[in-house]
Amino acid sequence: MERNQMQMHRQIATIRKSLFDQGYLDEQFVQLEELQDNSNPNFVEEVVTLFYRDSARFLYNLDQALEKRPLDFSRLDSLMHQFKGSSSSIGAKKVKIECTHFRDYCNARNTEGCKRTFQHVKKEYTTLKKKLEAYFQMSRQAGPIETACRPR
Amino acid sequence: MGVKMQGHHHLVAVSLNEQQLGIKRKYTSYIPRRNQSKYLALWIIAFGFVAMNVYKCIDAGHQERIEEGLVSMCDQRARMLQDRFRVSVNHVHALAVLVSTFHYYKNPSVIDQETFAEYTARTAFERPLLSGVAYAQRVMNSEREEFEKQHEGIIRTMAKEPSPHRDEYAPVIFAQETVSYLHLLDMMSGEEDRENILRARATGKAVLTSPFKLLGSNHLGVVLTFPVYKSKLPPKVSVRERIEATAGYLGGAFDVESLVENLLGQLAENQEIVVKVYDVTNPSNPLITYGRQTQEGDLSHTRVSMLDFGDPYRKHQMTCRYLRKAPISWTAFTTASLGYVIVLLAGYMFYTGAIHIVQVEDDFDTMQQLKVRAEAADVAKSQFLATVSHEIRTPMNGILGMLALLLDTELSSTQRDYAQTAQACGRALITLINEVLDRAKIEAGKLELESVPFDLRSILDDVLSLFSEKSRHKGIELAVLVSDKVPRIVMGDPGRFRQVITNLVGNSVKFTEHGHIFVQVHHAEHSEADAKSETFMNGISEGRAISRFRTLSGREAADDRNSWDTFKHLVGEDEYPFRAATAEKVDLLVSVEDTGIGIPIHAQELVFMPFMQADSSTSRHYGGTGIGLSISKCLVELMGGRISFVSRPKIGSTFFFTVAFNRSEKSTVSDLKKSLYEDLPNAFTGLKVTVVDSKPVRAAVTRYHLQRLGMVVKIVNSIQMAISMRFMLVLLFSLPSTLVELQQDRNERQPDLLLVEKDTWLSNEDTGNIRLSDHRPIGHTSNSPKMILLATNITSPEFDKAKATGFSDTVIMKPLRASMVAACLQQVLETGNQAKQGRLMAKGSLYLRSVLSGKKILVVDDNRVNRRVAAGALKKFGATVECADSGKTALALLHLPHTFDACFMDIQMPEMDGFEVTRRVRMMESNANQEPMSETMTIEGSAFTRTGEWHLPILAMTADVIHATFDECRKSGMDGYVSKPFEEETLYQAVAKFFESNPPSDRSFKTTTSKNGEP
């Protein structure tokens, strides 16, 4: 059991590392992790869940806005700004990058580019969601990790 | 947001360029821009005509003069010829009268051939023009025989043949000897003579023949014929009567050719003209009388003068021409041609000038365009630098953050070393980038200076604390001294001032291995008054005896103005009455003196150029980019000052700069936020301190810091002096008869503290310290002064010895800072009852926790995730967090009175953005502040109680930390900003400003930490 848990922790650490290595997450995620302590044990997961619940609304709104003709670029931009803010808060690096591209196209008033990058945004968003879900699932199974705490 | 902003910038730059490029050729050009050669040709042709006209004008005058000369010569000749001729004619007339008188009126005749010949020969001089004269008698045919008989000859014709029968004859009966061959020749037989005779007798006047070849010579000549009448004729007679009365004819031959020749020979300028005489009786066929028939001479000038030889039937004229063509008028020619040449040259000059001007103008245009382009490129470069620096900073912050996190985990010593190195490098890189960004900003003109009240001294203390570690490590004495005349609070840009000082001190620390670094601030006019006229040539070391330089560390400095001799004037209390109290400006002279390697003379000019280091080897030895000084120069100039330096290689450098701050008004000082200047504890006011230091400058620095704490300072040279002073007092005190006054006197003069410089103590070691401890008055330990050692660095044996000698445990480590000195003194005096707590607060995050714990903070963000993260972060540091999801909710929550200590506000929110919320909050606050205080508002722990007025610190949360956003934050009344997402360090920096004035326990932790690492 002990051994199993150790292995699991190692596996979790590998997944986490790969998330960073593949550029899905950035240091902001680490900051979030830092905010997690005994008084607030599931902070990261809570925030991420909040993010996915919240952003679904944004994405829906964006979808709607993209259907309209002509495109209301300023609205798209402000929606995407919100979404990007959320993404950067949880450290979703790839999503954030795509958001930036989207906003670039928005500023350039490029309809095609907007649509295309929106698909990218959604793709990255979904991919990250899957990965994070798996990661949190595993973390929950493994239980709290003592080593994650910073030495005082 | 960041991307959007960049795009905007780019657009601005492009439109600027187009605008600038659009403005072309602002001046008007008076020069034809093309076809200059055509203009030149036109010029040449036009002035060619002009020159020709001028030539003609002048030449016409010349020709006229020539013509006049010809006319006068010709007329003169004609007149003379005419006169001569007339004279001869008159003589012939006289002969005719003679013949008629003596041959016909006398009977018998008294004239015969001999008489006539003799007479005529003797009067020939009268008729030089006539080759000879002869008289022919009119003989009718009926009288021929009788006549022939009488004269014994036959009448012959001109051909010398016997004359055929005619109606009448005119044989010559008297002839001058020169024409004796005419004897008995019938004059009527010659065509001309006959006509002559007929006309002569009809008119009764002298008549002339047309020119013909004379007999006996080949010359052309004319024959003059006079009629001789038998009787005197009445004035009015008919032609017939005349003919009837005709008795004979007197004739003479004029040799016109020799006549004219003769005449012309007598005149000057004969060679120049060609003279011809014509008989123009028949105008259609002029007969030449003199001169050759061919046209010769200059045909352009001809003068015709009429000749009157007394025969109205015959008309003669004289034609004169110049023999040679009149020479060209050189005056006219040279005038015209010279003028033309000049005009040509002028034209050519204009031409080349025009071409040159056009070229220069074109070049100028090109240059201007290039300039505009270069400027645009420069702006673009600056923008690029700013952008790139910004972009680099973001990942760099990530790197540094991760490194900081990494260092917090458990690492092996090697790993820690690596990570620390990486962090140090990263920091250096960030510093460099910030410098480049600064420079770019300055160049782009974007840097604006603040004008806020600040405490100069605390800034200098801060800078010193930055370098204290390094200087201690190197064993350099680092000191700061601000003249007492410099006001406590001045208005200016503290950040930029600090930057300049940091730069200079940083350089000095970098390049100094031994000796000292001494920062001084004086009133500019005071120091100038003292700056003697002596000026040091940089780098020229004078042959002074290197004995003891009375500088801070005793080492020679580049500029000896800072040595004690002049220095004492500046620090002297009474020499300059504080006169500048009324002036608006405070001109300060800041000098940073070091005893480092100095700047090589050849490099001294380049020092302020960006990216120039004195020597390429310097950068290898010491690192750095050399941008610092150029930025410092820019900043100093922005602040209205000048920067300069004196440097001597191997001796040191002293950098000076002047800076003008505004004097802060009293009212603003009272409003100052506490955070602006460090609150020095006033627990030490009135404390008497004796400083034992052999070096006066160093002692003055110590005194400066102690005086800032309100202490009364006395300086003595050596421990002996201090002791002797004390010793006397002790003696006095031990006498039983001591009066109460003396006791009081002692109390006044007995120092509470004795600060001893380590060097001075060590040099007096053998004599001083023992006695010092010996003479400690017994039984009065509580009153005896505490002895504290001042040191730049101290070894543990030295420390032990000091302790043994009686010094207290705490050693005040240089560089001195008032706050640090205060902390040390507090420790000594209160024997460190609080010292333990300090160790806990070494780290920023712990500090944050201490600052934020128990604080109530409002987080305003419409984004739930962001809100949650911010709240989480703040909660982590112990704050109580309340959230608001919109500006309106926030406003409702912030309705006065409220209990929030601070507010973090997102800027971009729908409906009401962060700026607007802030403005409204501030409006509410100012309204509330103006109202009289009511008790209900004094709520414990709120923002109200701390400042005495409502002012909730509001910090913007923003994703981009560019300057413009920051400006707007401040404009709308925010107190600062933190970048999103939160990072510990930025949060700490932002928060620290507002919560610094905490309970005193917090303060002392901060100040005492600096010496925790020491013994």
pLDDT tens-digit readout, B49-84: 998 898 888 888 888 888 888 888 888 888 888 888
Do β-strands B273-279 and B287-290 pair in parallel, antiparallel, or remain unpaired? antiparallel
* Nearest residue of B to residue A77, measured between CA atoms: B1
Provide the number of CB pairs (under 8 Å) joining chain A to chain B.
85
Q: What is the largest CA-CA distance in chain A?
A: 61
Q: Does any CB of chain B come closer than 8 Å to the CB of residue A86? A: yes
Asked whether the CA dihedral B942, B946, B948, B949 is positive or negative, the reply is: negative
CB-based contact B908 A81, cutoff 8 Å: yes
Q: Is the pLDDT of residue A25 over 80?
A: yes
pLDDT attached to residue B835:
37
Bond prior to A70 in cis (omega within 30° of 0): yes
pLDDT attached to residue B1005:
33
**Higher-scoring residue by pLDDT: B985, A84:** A84
Which has the closest alpha carbon to B520: B462, B595, B593, B469? Answer: B593
**Higher-scoring residue by pLDDT: B929, A119:** A119
Q: Considering CB atoms only, which of A34, A54, A107 is closest to B865?
A: A54
Instruction: Give chain A positions within 8 Å (CB) of B869.
Output: 31-32, 35, 47, 89-90
Residue B154 burial (10 A CB sphere; 0-12, 13-18, 19+): middle
pTM for this predicted structure: 0.42
Which has the closest alpha carbon to B86: B315, B311, B313? Answer: B311
pLDDT attached to residue B540:
37
CB-based contact B981 A28, cutoff 8 Å: yes
CB-based contact B409 A32, cutoff 8 Å: no
Distances (CA, A) of B498 to B482, B844, B1006: 14, 22, 21
Q: pLDDT band at residue B1010, thresholds of 50, 70 and 90?
A: very low
pLDDT attached to residue B444:
66
Q: pLDDT band at residue B728, thresholds of 50, 70 and 90?
A: low
- Read off the tokens for B638: 């922005």
Three-state DSSP at B883 gives strand
CB-based contact B869 A54, cutoff 8 Å: no
For all residues of chain B together, what is the average pLDDT? 73
Mean pLDDT calculated for residue range B783-793: 72
Alpha-carbon span B55 to B34, nearest angstrom: 33
- Read off the tokens for B526: 């005071």
Q: Does any CB of chain A come closer than 8 Å to the CB of residue B910? A: yes
CB-based contact B863 A37, cutoff 8 Å: no
List Cβ neighbours of B756 (8 Å cut-off, separation of 6 or more).
Answer: B691, B692, B693, B719, B787, B788, B789, B790, B807
Mean pLDDT calculated for residue range B834-857: 55
Q: Considering CB atoms only, which of A30, A43, A47 is closest to B405?
A: A30
pLDDT, tens digit, 9 for 90 and up, residues B112-167: 888 888 888 888 888 777 778 888 888 888 888 888 888 877 888 877 778 788 88
Q: Does any CB of chain A come closer than 8 Å to the CB of residue B412? A: no
Q: Is the pLDDT of residue A45 over 80?
A: yes
- DSSP secondary structure string for all residues of B257-295: HHHHHHHHHHSTTGGGEEEEEEE-SSTTSPEEEES-SS-
Which has the closest alpha carbon to B253: B205, B276, B220, B227? Answer: B220
CB-based contact B868 A47, cutoff 8 Å: yes
Alpha-carbon span B752 to B746, nearest angstrom: 11
Instruction: Give chain B positions within 8 Å (CB) of A31.
Output: 401, 869, 873, 981-983
Distance from CA of B878 to the nearest CA of A (A): 11
pLDDT, tens digit, 9 for 90 and up, residues B10-50: 444 444 444 444 444 556 667 777 788 888 888 889 988 99
Q: pLDDT band at residue B757, thresholds of 50, 70 and 90?
A: confident
Is the CB of residue B289 less than 8 Å from the CB of residue B256?
yes
Q: How many CA atoms lie within 13 A of B435 on its CB side?
A: 22
Distance from CA of B1 to the nearest CA of A (A): 8
Q: Is the pLDDT of residue B794 over 50?
A: yes
Q: Does any CB of chain A come closer than 8 Å to the CB of residue B525? A: no
Distances (CA, A) of B647 to A51, B532, B545, B611: 62, 18, 19, 19
Mean pLDDT calculated for residue range A114-131: 87
Alpha-carbon span B402 to B248, nearest angstrom: 163
pLDDT, tens digit, 9 for 90 and up, residues B267-297: 766 667 788 888 888 778 887 877 776 666 6
Distances (CA, A) of A102 to A61, B8, B387, B394: 15, 17, 20, 20
Q: Does any CB of chain B come closer than 8 Å to the CB of residue A46? A: yes
Mean pLDDT calculated for residue range B459-478: 81
Q: Is the pLDDT of residue B484 over 70?
A: yes
Alpha-carbon span B824 to B818, nearest angstrom: 10
Alpha-carbon span B123 to B809, nearest angstrom: 168
In a mutational test of the A interface, the residue from B865, B880, B886, B908 whose CB has the highest number of chain A CBs within 10 Å is B865
Instruction: Give chain B positions within 8 Å (CB) of A151.
Output: 408-410
Alpha-carbon span A58 to A55, nearest angstrom: 5
List Cβ neighbours of B360 (8 Å cut-off, separation of 6 or more).
Answer: none
Q: Does any CB of chain A come closer than 8 Å to the CB of residue B10? A: no
Q: pLDDT band at residue B103, thresholds of 50, 70 and 90?
A: confident
Instruction: Give chain B positions within 8 Å (CB) of A30.
Output: 401-402, 405
Alpha-carbon span B875 to B883, nearest angstrom: 12
- Read off the tokens for B731: 């003696």
Per DSSP, which regions of B901-951 are E strands? 902-906
Q: Does any CB of chain A come closer than 8 Å to the CB of residue B864? A: yes
Distances (CA, A) of B235 to B334, B485, B689: 67, 145, 166
In a mutational test of the B interface, the residue from A31, A47, A106 whose CB has the highest number of chain B CBs within 10 Å is A31
pLDDT attached to residue B370:
92
**Higher-scoring residue by pLDDT: B311, B856:** B856
Q: What is the largest CA-CA distance in chain B?
A: 209
Alpha-carbon span B833 to B181, nearest angstrom: 181
Instruction: Give chain A positions within 8 Å (CB) of B1.
Output: 81
Q: Is the pLDDT of residue B848 over 70?
A: no
pLDDT attached to residue A149:
39
Which has the closest alpha carbon to A42: B459, B993, B872? Answer: B872
Q: Considering CB atoms only, which of B398, B405, B981 is closest to A89?
A: B981
Instruction: Give chain B positions within 8 Å (CB) of A107.
Output: 3-4, 7
pLDDT, tens digit, 9 for 90 and up, residues B159-171: 777 878 888 888 8
List Cβ neighbours of B991 (8 Å cut-off, separation of 6 or more).
Answer: B848, B851, B852, B902, B955
List Cβ neighbours of B839 (8 Å cut-off, separation of 6 or more).
Answer: B1012
Instruction: Give chain B positions within 8 Å (CB) of A78.
Output: 908, 910
Distance from CA of A102 to the nearest CA of B (A): 11
* Nearest residue of A to residue B841, measured between CA atoms: A152
pLDDT, tens digit, 9 for 90 and up, residues A51-75: 888 888 888 888 888 887 777 888 8
Beta bridge partners of B976: B955
Cβ neighbours around B593 below 10 Å, total = 29
pLDDT, tens digit, 9 for 90 and up, residues B657-676: 888 888 776 544 444 444 34
Q: Does any CB of chain B come closer than 8 Å to the CB of residue A41? A: no
Residue B243 burial (10 A CB sphere; 0-12, 13-18, 19+): middle
Q: How many CA atoms lie within 13 A of B942 on its CB side?
A: 17
Element (H, E) at B224: strand B220-229
CB-based contact B402 A27, cutoff 8 Å: yes
Q: Does any CB of chain A come closer than 8 Å to the CB of residue B402? A: yes
pLDDT attached to residue B270:
63
In a mutational test of the A interface, the residue from B869, B874, B906 whose CB has the highest number of chain A CBs within 10 Å is B869
Do β-strands B786-791 and B753-757 pair in parallel, antiparallel, or remain unpaired? parallel
Instruction: Give chain A positions within 8 Å (CB) of B879.
Output: none
